[in-house]
Structure 1
């Protein structure tokens, strides 16, 4: 096995998602993930503490990108405009591999209560990162929390739309920002 071959982390994620979708999360072992990815078991553990964390790969990077985008929004931007800037910046983390594995990842998460719980925790962490970035911009906490929840919902809806789209040309950002715009319009009826 090629221990030092580039792309091991990404191959591990793809292998795990494939195996989780094929045989279920509980039935999949770390050894099987490593074998499918073409790396050793110890290489797996250099990248991830356990198999559950494979699907959380990039969570801190994603939160950081969101915060960067929010911080870089124009000074007079509304909270939701700043969230849109965060969505656009976070979209840098989503490429063809993400789109390709999205259906299998959704199937794997749907088949495991443990993975559903982990997915919910990821959303909470993302909401905290967005809210914190907004508060740092001077947004009042209740408004920041509401805008963060809308941002997470737009992220979720945008990701689902992007992953299911037949055209491969439109980027994730366009789907996420469109979802946020739809949510923004929906709030006028509250």
Structure 2
């Protein structure tokens, strides 16, 4: 690809990222102001200064915006893949849990970096059954991503499945221990992993 096409592609990608971020920001602002039910896709598009077609290019519905992934999980998973290991995990549950712990704790730290935003998100999800259901589906996807990460690091199928599920369980237990307080969540999850090891 020549320089002109690269610059054009880069500019297009930046514009797309800005449009997506504007939609997310507009949606969350409107949800905070009017409540989830009081906001339509048209409201979000208008606030973000994009058309409805642009909204639907990035999101299937307004529920999807609530769970918009800003790429943080993918970044954490990519970082975990880059960590040099002493060899394939194989059937070593302690090795699998060490990797899962690093991923889950790092992801929790990113999610709770803005405690107020995290708390608003959790309140919004908890107050709407349809969002709660979507949240559970998303969490299953996280478990699958952890399982794939472990398999990519050489864990056998049983160890990958067990490590991934224990990672998700550590998150649930940490959330219960912290009372879902974003300030306490990362350390609570760490303490659960300490108990597991």
Q: Identify whether the pair has TM-score above 0.5, normalized to the shorter chain.
A: yes
- Match status 1:186 vs 2:195: yes
Cα contact 1:14–1:101 (8 A) shared by 2: no
Aligned to 1:67: 77
Cα contact 1:18–1:104 (8 A) shared by 2: no
- Match status 1:148 vs 2:164: yes
Runs of 4+ in 1 over 4 A off after TM superposition: 88-96, 153-158, 160-163
Unmatched segments (≥5 aa) in structure 1: 167-174
Normalising by structure 2, report the TM-score.
0.68
Cα deviation code 1:3-53 (max 9, x no counterpart)? x69733223212222333443333321011122223332321222122121
Taking the aligned partners of 2:41 and 2:156, their CA distance within structure 1 comes to 44
1:80 is aligned, of 92, 97, 110, to 97
Cα deviation code 1:81-114 (max 9, x no counterpart)? 2123434665796596x54522221221112111
Aligned to 1:164: 182
Q: 1:88 to 1:107 in 2, by over 3 A?
A: closer
Cα contact 2:105–2:190 (8 A) shared by 1: no
Cα contact 1:21–1:105 (8 A) shared by 2: no
Q: How many pairs are equivalent?
A: 173
Q: CA deviation at 1:135?
A: 1.7
Q: Equivalent residue of 1:131, what SS?
A: helix
Q: Equivalent residue of 1:84, what SS?
A: helix
1:24 is aligned, of 27, 35, 41, to 35
Cα contact 1:17–1:101 (8 A) shared by 2: no
Q: CA deviation at 1:115?
A: 0.7
Q: 1:92 to 1:180 in 2, by over 3 A?
A: closer
Taking the aligned partners of 2:76 and 2:163, their CA distance within structure 1 comes to 13
